[in-house]
């Protein structure tokens, strides 16, 4: 899994590749894999990380001595987190200048040390690294009896670690006396049983890197022409080109989502909630605090999801979706809608890797649904998991709108966004101030990334030079409370989520299918005529999504309510047509009536 903010992560590899045997490794030489949705996901050894499983009886002094020897070996840097410590794992990241073969051989030598129980594989899957530990998530069939489940686990000599209290017939298991690699084979055997829906590793998922945010280009200057009547008073609104682009700065006029025209029609309402499923949101931010409802931290199961000081991604996404509008700082597209922060991951130092598990992500999605979020905004992706797939199904089955970032690798749409062809979710690509599809050569100057594309893209939205909220003070991306250069499909996704929330405020009974259809059919067609793999059905237009016919020039502009694009509005369209035909009939009849009328 990865954050989809361009410039903050290396590119994803979107094809699953075969793994090679690791020199000195003790695990099976057969191709490693796990099962997702009945398909084998091949596992390739990571070129970035290796992991050593410490013996549980290792003393503190022996552990410290071993860690010193690891540092002295000079082959890798130790990266740690509470989750890794919990599993007794020493994680090594390859040092710059060390070749893959030397790294593998050095780790193999360290694995022979007395405090080390085994070397645990770290696999590369769709752009993320997945550390294998001896824990597995098993979902039995809904009608499996306790006796049947016990028989399956006993036959595999499995031990129950925990029972999921929220999901029936869900267990976390381990295989005593087995290495993690040996345990993977046993888990795959369980997955083949006819009373088992799935069995998959409880991977520790590591986002490979989160380097600095690149800074390029400039935000558009303040508008020099009148704006729609819905323009808010936030002082930074004039720099939020993606909400209202006059063309007076960078870009072209109307390369935006027509936010003021949308607000002329509706501000949404406070009963609608957007869940920002991310690395945490700063709930005390002055431009977010009044919007926050029922936060949740899936990484430890409590309600204190405040991000680490350097983890600004979730706070930035929250501001785009629904910052407090018409007050200070920036405006959020969801003017009156609320924000539910859900933390599913964290990093342990600035620029460090994201640490998470698919179980955390699943819990975050399900909890957002159970706590009443109407729209789930997900600016991340990479890897693959039954746990997350079933959580998405749970959200959609409970009438929630699920939005995912397509990714920033100038390649195919990543998982889970690529599920949009089989699940009713919304996959979002990115555009720029010129209404161009975001590529490495588009006019915005951000040459280090391009939006992903493909038939799974549903809609596109602005995703460069996005002015938004940042963790306050010197924390987050920059000094101050706001950041002017957030980017990537990470930033386009909460914009679509904000528009979906406005639509639901107008049509609270609508299903995810109706909301998705409304956003797609009302989008401004860009690129090739009709649907295309870059823009999807077009660039988001929030005004038209609310049923408006938005005239963008010359300002001031308003959002008329005459044009309605959803199929449920056909009755009103027929009424409008009848009124028009009646007027024409009266105009034609008037000269006849004048000829036959008696003179005075």
Give the separation between CA 422 and CA 356, rounded to whole angstroms: 26
Q: Which residues contact 561 (CB under 8 A, 6 or more apart)?
A: 265, 547, 548
Q: With beta carbons less than 8 A apart as the criterion, state whether 311 and 346 touch.
A: yes
Q: Which of 549, 83, 113, 581 is nearest to 353 (CA)?
A: 83
The angle formed by the CA atoms of residues 258, 264 and 265, to the nearest 5 degrees, is 100
The catalytic position among 278, 336, 524, 532 is 278
Q: With beta carbons less than 8 A apart as the criterion, state whether 477 and 509 touch.
A: no
Q: Which residues pair with 204 in a beta bridge?
A: 131
Cα-based distances in Å from 326 to 46, 223, 331: 48, 17, 7
Q: Is 68 helix (H, G, I), strand (E, B) or coil?
A: helix
Whether 267 is catalytic is: no
Q: Which residues contact 389 (CB under 8 A, 6 or more apart)?
A: 36, 37, 416, 419
Q: With beta carbons less than 8 A apart as the criterion, state whether 540 and 519 touch.
A: yes
Pairing of strands 380-381, 2-3: antiparallel
The catalytic position among 111, 429, 451, 490 is 490
Whether 490 is catalytic is: yes
Give the separation between CA 157 and CA 403, rounded to whole angstroms: 41
Q: With beta carbons less than 8 A apart as the criterion, state whether 459 and 523 touch.
A: yes
The catalytic position among 193, 267, 313, 537 is 313
Q: Which two tokens stand for residue 515?
A: 């909301």
Q: Is 525 helix (H, G, I), strand (E, B) or coil?
A: coil
Q: Is the peptide bond before 416 cis (omega within 30 degrees of 0)?
A: yes
Give the separation between CA 486 and CA 313, rounded to whole angstroms: 9
Q: Is 302 helix (H, G, I), strand (E, B) or coil?
A: strand
Give the separation between CA 591 and CA 164, rounded to whole angstroms: 80
Whether 113 is catalytic is: no
Give the separation between CA 83 and CA 416, rounded to whole angstroms: 24
Give the separation between CA 299 and CA 297, rounded to whole angstroms: 5
* Active site residues per annotation: 278, 313, 490
């Amino acid at each position: 899994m990865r954050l989809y903010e361009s410039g903050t992560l290396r590119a994803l590899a979107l094809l699953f590749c075969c793994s090679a045997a690791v020199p000195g490794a003790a695990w099976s030489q057969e191709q490693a894999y796990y099962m997702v949705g009945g398909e084998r996901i091949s596992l390739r050894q990571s070129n970035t990380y290796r992991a050593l499983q410490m013996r549980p009886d290792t003393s503190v002094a022996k552990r410290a001595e071993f860690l010193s020897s690891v540092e002295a070996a000079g082959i890798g840097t130790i990266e740690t987190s509470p989750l890794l410590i919990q599993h007794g794992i020493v994680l090594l990241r390859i040092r710059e200048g060390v070749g893959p073969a030397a790294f593998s051989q050095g780790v193999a030598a360290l694995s022979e040390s007395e405090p080390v129980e085994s070397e645990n594989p770290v696999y590369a899957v769709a752009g993320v690294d997945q550390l294998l530990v001896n824990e597995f998530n098993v979902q039995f069939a809904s009608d499996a009896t306790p006796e049947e489940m016990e028989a399956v686990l006993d036959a595999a000599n499995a031990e129950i670690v925990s029972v999921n209290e929220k999901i029936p017939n869900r267990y976390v298991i381990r295989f005593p006396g087995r290495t993690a690699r040996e345990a993977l084979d046993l888990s795959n055997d369980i997955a083949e049983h006819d009373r088992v829906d799935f069995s998959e590793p409880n991977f520790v998922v590591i986002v490979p890197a989160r380097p600095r945010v690149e800074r390029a280009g400039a935000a558009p200057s303040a508008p020099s022409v009148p704006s729609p009547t819905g323009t808010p008073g936030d002082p930074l609104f004039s720099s939020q080109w993606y909400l209202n682009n006059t063309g007076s700065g960078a870009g072209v006029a109307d390369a935006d989502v027509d936010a003021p025209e949308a607000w002329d029609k509706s501000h949404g309402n406070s009963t609608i909630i957007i869940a920002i499923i991310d690395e945490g949101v700063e709930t005390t931010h002055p431009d977010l605090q009044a919007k926050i409802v029922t936060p949740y931290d899936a990484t430890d199961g409590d309600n204190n999801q405040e991000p680490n000081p350097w983890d600004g991604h979730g706070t930035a996404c929250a501001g785009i979706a629904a910052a407090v509008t018409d007050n200070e700082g920036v405006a959020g597209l969801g003017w009156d809608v609320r924000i539910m922060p859900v933390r599913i991951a964290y990093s342990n130092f600035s620029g460090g890797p994201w640490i998470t598990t698919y179980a955390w992500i699943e819990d975050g999605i399900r909890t957002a649904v159970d706590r009443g979020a109407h729209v789930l905004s997900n600016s991340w992706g990479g890897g693959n998991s039954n746990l997350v797939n079933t959580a998405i199904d749970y959200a959609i089955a409970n009438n929630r709108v699920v939005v995912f970032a397509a990714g920033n690798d100038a390649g195919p749409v990543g998982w889970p966004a690529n599920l949009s062809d089989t699940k009713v979710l919304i996959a979002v690509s990115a555009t720029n101030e010129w209404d161009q599809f975001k590529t490495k050569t588009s006019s915005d100057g951000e040459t280090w990334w391009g939006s992903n594309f493909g038939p799974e893209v549903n809609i596109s939205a602005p995703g460069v030079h996005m002015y938004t909220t940042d963790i306050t003070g010197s924390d987050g991306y920059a000094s101050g409370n706001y950041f002017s250069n957030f980017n990537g499909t990470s930033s386009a996704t909460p914009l679509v989520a904000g528009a979906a929330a406005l639509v639901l405020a107008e049509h609270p009974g609508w299903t995810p299918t109706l909301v998705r259809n409304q956003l797609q059919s009302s989008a401004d067609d860009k690129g090739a005529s009709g649907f295309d793999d870059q823009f999807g059905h077009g660039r988001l237009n929030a005004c038209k999504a609310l049923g408006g016919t938005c005239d963008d020039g010359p300002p001031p502009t308003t959002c008329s309510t005459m044009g309605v694009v959803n199929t449920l509005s056909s009755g009103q369209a027929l009424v409008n047509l009848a009124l028009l035909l009646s007027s024409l009939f009266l105009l034609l009849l008037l000269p006849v009536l004048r000829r036959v009328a008696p003179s005075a």
